[in-house]
Structure 1
Amino acid sequence: MGRRSETPRPDGTAGPRMLEGARVLVTRSPDRAGALVSALCAAGAEPLLLPLIDFERAPDQHSLDVAFDALGAGGYSWLVVSSVTTVRVLEEKAAERGAELSAWLPGSLQVAAIGPATRSILKALDIPVDLAPAGQQSGAGLLDIWPPGRCSVLLPQADIADPGLRRGLESRGARVQAVTAYRTVDYPADPGRSLAGAPAPQQPAAVLTPAAAKAAVDAGTVHAVVAASPSAARRVHAGLSPLGDCRFVAIGRSTAAQALALGLPVAAIAEEPTASGLVAAVIEALDPGHPHSTPTTSEL
């Protein structure tokens, strides 16, 4: 990494380019990496994209359609949304019925959301969020604040979602209808089944093949790799390990726990799955003056 320099902040004052010269591998596709790419560039880093996972429509559309129709008819008192991809699926279902998602949802419905990106997209769609964790952005964080009592909950999730959230809601008195909203697959998804993402980032980043990424890691020319999910951690382990001097940065404790279980040292954990939170974690992992410590599974 090179010498730190200054970069203008949005308010016009100078801020340090803390990642000057760092090359950071982001395991996301271009349509899902925009904010992080821009934030890394602003901090002086060179982001490189290694798309590992993608998303397809769920094979069982009938169950999803039945649940979505029941949602519009007032069949649930709560909707729990745990990802931006889930919102995209619900938007598609509303569009199939000639409606906006905000108009499809009954006024009596309460909405719980996990993660700032999920809250932001719901806000942009004029869908109020009634409950969201302020601390840990995960199912466990939502369960910490979930009001106990009898209620009916629709929980659309990925096919590989941890059952802990459903079980936790049920233990608090909820009647939960968990339905597969989308399928997680290796990148790229089948074009006929893929879910539309956001536009590609305005600040371009090189997209590497798995072979090129492995060669860069082996050559020591990549300083950090960022993984956003346990499935991404598994793919990093399968395709890139050993990482050598490349630091593994996890988004969330479940991703860190999976990495540690696979024997991947975790240099830093981004507690907030935001662009600024991720950049802060990369800085923590790479700053030579920062005292690094690798968490153990028990600490997670």
Structure 2
Amino acid sequence: MPRPEPHDPRLLSGRRILITRSADRAKPLASLLTSLGAAPLVLPLIDFERAKDQAILDDVLDRLAAGEFDWLVISSITTARVLLEKAAERGTTPAGLVPSATRVATIGPSSLRVLESIGLSVHLAPTELQSADGLVELWEPAPARVLLPQADIAAPGLREGLASKGADVTSVVAYHTVDYPAGAGRRLMAELPPALKVSGDSMLPMFSPEEARAGLGAGTVDAVVAASPSAARRIAQTLPPLGRCQLIAIGRPTAAEASRLGLTVAATAKEPTPDGIVAALESVFANEGNPL
């Protein structure tokens, strides 16, 4: 994968960027923004709960361990957290859940690095179009037994795309996406090891929805980052009007959902990484003329 282009601190200096993720998932982006002189602000809008039907999930994981699947397809970092939690319940590691003959696929370099950090070897991941569509494009047409654990609200595109290539896809709800915060006792708690280097260990400034709306109304928030279609939906429900604030989407599905909801997307990150998001922010601020 090519190295990212150098960033221009002049474009980010003094910018206040709202990241609509939990603090642990916001930290790699926040660290890069801080190093470039920007002020990251964290507003968690979505959270994740364990699958309601644990019996079904446990059953397919038993089948996975028994070698019934040729491929395990992991389409989100949150699914990696589910595997960590289920492995801990069984007294093993995520690699202990996946037989050596079962290959692992994911949707891009960021998720690849996370999966490698929990001990899984990844055999297939797109580098150009880093999304479910990109993985389907790479997939070789052939009969294959595929396990696809996903969120309860996952779009059908990945499952249907793999099936169109001849795969026999078993999809299962691995977790539920909910409004922040998740219910007590139901929140997915497994912590991922740091897959990306993060400098410093300072607390991130946390915003409430009320504080975010006040900042948007006052014009003191320069951009808001939507990391997923569900985050775009929560932004549309919670924050408008955005005023002068620029919306940055991570990936085409997020941009499409934001547009469907009537939100103006200023830029879409070409890569779902901190560098990709910062590059999208820089393109927007460069087009504004002189930064604030």
TM-score (norm 1): 0.89
Separation in 1 of the partners of 2:22 and 2:233? 17
> In 2 relative to 1, CA 289–236 (structure 1 residues): closer, same or farther, beyond 3 Å?
closer
Separation in 2 of the partners of 1:188 and 1:104? 29
The aligned residue for residue 87 of structure 2 is: 94
Output one character per residue of 1:155-214: Cα deviation in whole Å (capped at 9) or x when no partner. Answer: 000000001111111111111000000000011112311112458972432111111101
The aligned residue for residue 216 of structure 2 is: 217
The aligned residue for residue 274 of structure 1 is: 273
The Cα shift of 1:70 comes to: 0.4
Output one character per residue of 1:94-126: Cα deviation in whole Å (capped at 9) or x when no partner. Answer: 221111111231110010011323211221223
* AA of the residue aligned to 1:250: A
Answer yes or no: is 1:241 the counterpart of 2:234. Answer: no
The alignment partner of 2:101 has SS state of coil
Output one character per residue of 1:106-157: Cα deviation in whole Å (capped at 9) or x when no partner. Answer: 1100100113232112212232111101111111000000011111000000
% identity of equivalent residues: 53
The Cα shift of 1:223 comes to: 0.5
The Cα shift of 1:274 comes to: 0.5
Separation in 1 of the partners of 2:34 and 2:272? 18
* AA of the residue aligned to 1:167: E
> In 2 relative to 1, CA 170–15 (structure 1 residues): closer, same or farther, beyond 3 Å?
closer
Separation in 2 of the partners of 1:172 and 1:14? 39
Contact preservation (8 Å) 1:77, 1:109: yes
Answer yes or no: is 1:43 the counterpart of 2:42. Answer: no
Q: 1:160 aligns with which of 153, 157, 170?
A: 153
The alignment partner of 2:184 has SS state of coil
Separation in 1 of the partners of 2:7 and 2:113? 28
The Cα shift of 1:14 comes to: 10
The aligned residue for residue 206 of structure 1 is: 205
Contact preservation (8 Å) 1:159, 1:183: yes
Separation in 1 of the partners of 2:14 and 2:74? 38
The alignment partner of 2:11 has SS state of coil
Contact preservation (8 Å) 1:31, 1:198: no
The Cα shift of 1:289 comes to: 5.0
The Cα shift of 1:288 comes to: 4.2
The alignment partner of 1:287 has SS state of helix
Separation in 2 of the partners of 1:191 and 1:117? 29
The aligned residue for residue 174 of structure 1 is: 167
Separation in 1 of the partners of 2:119 and 2:74? 15
Contact preservation (8 Å) 2:19, 2:43: yes
The aligned residue for residue 293 of structure 1 is: none
Contact preservation (8 Å) 2:152, 2:175: yes
Contact preservation (8 Å) 1:34, 1:203: no
The alignment partner of 1:177 has SS state of strand
The aligned residue for residue 79 of structure 1 is: 72
The alignment partner of 1:207 has SS state of coil
The Cα shift of 1:92 comes to: 1.4
The alignment partner of 1:254 has SS state of helix
TM-score (norm 2): 0.91
> In 2 relative to 1, CA 207–198 (structure 1 residues): closer, same or farther, beyond 3 Å?
farther
153-162 or 109-118: bigger deviation: 109-118
Separation in 2 of the partners of 1:100 and 1:198? 12
Separation in 2 of the partners of 1:134 and 1:76? 25
| Alignment of structure 1 residues 1-300 onto 2, 5 Å | 16-196=9-189, 197-198=191-192, 202-288=201-287
Could you list the runs of 5+ residues in structure 1 that have no partner in the other structure?
1-12, 291-300
The aligned residue for residue 5 of structure 1 is: none
* AA of the residue aligned to 1:245: R
The Cα shift of 1:243 comes to: 0.9
Contact preservation (8 Å) 1:224, 1:286: no
* AA of the residue aligned to 1:104: L
The Cα shift of 1:17 comes to: 4.3
* AA of the residue aligned to 2:283: E
> In 2 relative to 1, CA 268–101 (structure 1 residues): closer, same or farther, beyond 3 Å?
same
The Cα shift of 1:231 comes to: 1.1
